[in-house]
């Protein structure tokens, strides 16, 4: 459960070229106000666009928040733009919204849901985001089923992203 109240600050849009990601820089005082740790989840809002996010360490007390190209375009922002950022507590169970197709798999597969519940929050979010990463509802169903079936085949404690995706050595 998140313990901070809503925080507002100004940030500049940056780009990490090796990783090819855009981000909002988060100064050390805001990192401290969020609890001083990178594991915190929150709702990030810029220009009336809100999404579930978390901090990534940048060094020397700084952190950053990933921003998709689509969100930047929607907000009319580019590298170097300065924007007001609002961070609010995210009290959702996983820090990500479970797509209805994945929820349907959980509702019909108690064993698969139990295995999912036993994963770390980061691994859970990975599955949620991967299942939700395509536009087609049919493909979301297929991805959800494939990942949960693969998860059930793995030994407890030996879950790996690539194996959940069905990739083997």
Domain range annotation of the chain: 7-89, 100-164
Q: By three-state DSSP, how is residue 98 classified?
A: coil
Q: Are 101 and 141 in contact (CB under 8 A)?
A: yes
CATH topology of domain 7-89: Elongation Factor Tu (Ef-tu); domain 3 (2.40.30)
pLDDT at 1: 46
pLDDT at 168: 72
CA 164/CA 152 separation, integer angstroms: 9
Q: Are 2 and 12 in contact (CB under 8 A)?
A: no
**Between these two residues, 122 and 80, which has the higher pLDDT value?**
80
CA 33/CA 4 separation, integer angstroms: 7
Nearest to 141 by CA among 130, 151, 131: 131
Give the CA angle between residues 115, 99, 150 to the nearest 5°.
35
Report the 10 Å Cβ neighbour count for 24. Answer: 24
pLDDT tens track for 59-92: 899 999 999 999 999 999 999 999 999 999 988 8
pLDDT at 34: 92
């Amino acid at each position: 459960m998140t313990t901070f109240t809503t925080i507002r600050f100004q940030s500049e849009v940056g780009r990490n070229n090796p990783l090819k990601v855009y981000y909002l820089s988060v100064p050390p005082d805001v990192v401290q106000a969020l609890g001083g740790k990178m594991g915190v989840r929150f709702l990030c809002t810029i220009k009336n666009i809100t999404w579930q996010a978390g901090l990534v360490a940048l060094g020397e007390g700084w952190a950053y928040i990933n921003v998709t190209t689509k969100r930047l375009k929607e907000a009319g922002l580019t590298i170097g733009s300065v924007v007001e950022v609002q961070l609010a507590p995210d009290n959702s169970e996983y820090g990500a919204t479970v797509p209805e197709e994945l929820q349907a798999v959980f509702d019909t597969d108690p064993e698969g849901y139990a295995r999912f519940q036993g994963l770390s929050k980061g691994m859970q979010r990975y599955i949620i985001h991967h299942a939700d990463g395509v536009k087609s509802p049919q493909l979301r169903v297929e991805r959800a089923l494939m990942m949960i079936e693969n998860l059930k085949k793995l030994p407890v404690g030996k879950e790996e992203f690539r194996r959940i995706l069905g990739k083997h050595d």
